[in-house]
């Protein structure tokens, strides 16, 4: 697959983990792992595990005997993830495309995916694969960002970056914040073979802490970085502008609004 929005490679994983992880992904990772552990599963598969933020919470919260397999399309993301675990901790890391899983049918009790589904070009194919590798009545929990209107900080960041390239603004942030229609999400999961799908909207206030780190993550911790370079832009100048926007417009606290889907 060659789509730029899915290329989390090079220096991106480090910037993602340090800059974006604490603000955007940690708290929801804890919450998703809490919901997973409450189901007391015996075998869990995580898709689009990235730098292992949810994986770490899963290993901390799941019963010790529960087998955990963490996968991602991009091996460099998993290399950062692996560093978060001691050798004696059970986690299997494997590169896997969520639309083409190499696991046996019925192999897992629970499948999880935090903020990954919006990057899968064929949502129905990925849901069909998840349904196939789940045991009968097994569950799939996945989260998605709500819209720019519900997450205005993301719109503000997009606009800041777009001002550098008025004729051809980078489109990266439209991918993670562009798949939030509950009917569309439910229809894709049903088309993939799930019988029941419930979707709820959740929100969580978080502190940004370091505007410098967050700006670095927002510009260099995802494929936006490649879009800036492809347009002849200077990532440092864009990062400085984003940092100024965080300090002057966004503030230190934001509310993260998401959709949590449960399919079985």
Ligand X SMILES: C[S@@+](CC[C@H](N)C(=O)[O-])C[C@H]1O[C@@H](n2cnc3c(N)ncnc32)[C@H](O)[C@@H]1O
Residues making contact with ligand X (CB under 6 A):
6, 8, 25, 29, 47-50, 53-54, 72-74, 77, 97-99, 114-116, 119-120
Can you give the C-alpha Rg of the chain in angstroms?
18
Q: For ligand X, which residue has the nearest CB?
A: 50
Nearer to ligand X, 35 or 240 (CB): 35
Nearer to ligand X, 31 or 72 (CB): 72
Nearer to ligand X, 73 or 250 (CB): 73
Q: Are 145 and 154 in contact (CB under 8 A)?
A: yes
In the complex, least distance from residue 50 CB atom to ligand X, rounded to whole angstroms: 3
In the complex, least distance from residue 166 CB atom to ligand X, rounded to whole angstroms: 27
Question: Which pair of tokens denotes residue 1?
Answer: 């697959």
CA dihedral (233, 239, 244, 246) in degrees, to 10, reads 120
In the complex, least distance from residue 114 CB atom to ligand X, rounded to whole angstroms: 4
In the complex, least distance from residue 222 CB atom to ligand X, rounded to whole angstroms: 7
> How many Å apart are CA 222 and CA 74, to the nearest integer?
12
| CA atoms within 13 Å, Cβ hemisphere of 8 | 26
Nearer to ligand X, 114 or 160 (CB): 114
Three-class secondary structure of residue 86 per DSSP: coil
């Amino acid at each position: 697959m060659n789509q730029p929005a899915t290329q989390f490679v090079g220096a991106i994983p480090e910037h993602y983990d340090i800059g974006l992880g604490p603000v955007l992904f940690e708290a929801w990772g804890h919450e998703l792992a809490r919901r997973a552990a409450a189901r007391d599963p015996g075998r869990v598969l995580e898709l689009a595990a990235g730098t292992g933020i949810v994986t770490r919470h899963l290993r901390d919260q799941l019963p010790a005997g529960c087998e955990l397999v963490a996968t991602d399309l991009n091996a460099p993301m998993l290399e950062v993830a692996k560093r978060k675990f001691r050798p004696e901790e059970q986690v299997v890391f494997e590169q896997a495309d969520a639309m083409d899983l190499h696991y046996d049918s019925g192999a897992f009790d629970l499948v999880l995916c935090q903020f990954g589904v919006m990057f899968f070009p064929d949502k129905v194919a990925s849901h069909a694969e998840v349904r196939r590798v789940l045991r009968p009545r097994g569950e799939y929990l996945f989260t998605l960002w709500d819209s720019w209107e519900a997450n205005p900080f993301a719109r503000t960041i997009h606009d800041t970056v777009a001002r550098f390239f008025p004729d051809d603004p980078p489109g990266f942030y439209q991918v993670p914040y562009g798949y939030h229609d509950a009917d569309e999400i439910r229809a894709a999961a049903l088309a993939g073979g799930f019988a029941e799908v419930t979707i709820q909207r959740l929100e969580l206030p978080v502190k940004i802490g370091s505007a410098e780190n967050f700006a670095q993550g927002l510009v260099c911790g995802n494929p936006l970085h490649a879009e800036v370079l492809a347009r002849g832009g200077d990532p440092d100048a864009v990062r400085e502008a984003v940092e100024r926007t965080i300090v002057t417009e966004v503030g230190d606290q934001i509310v993260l609004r998401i959709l949590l889907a449960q399919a079985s």
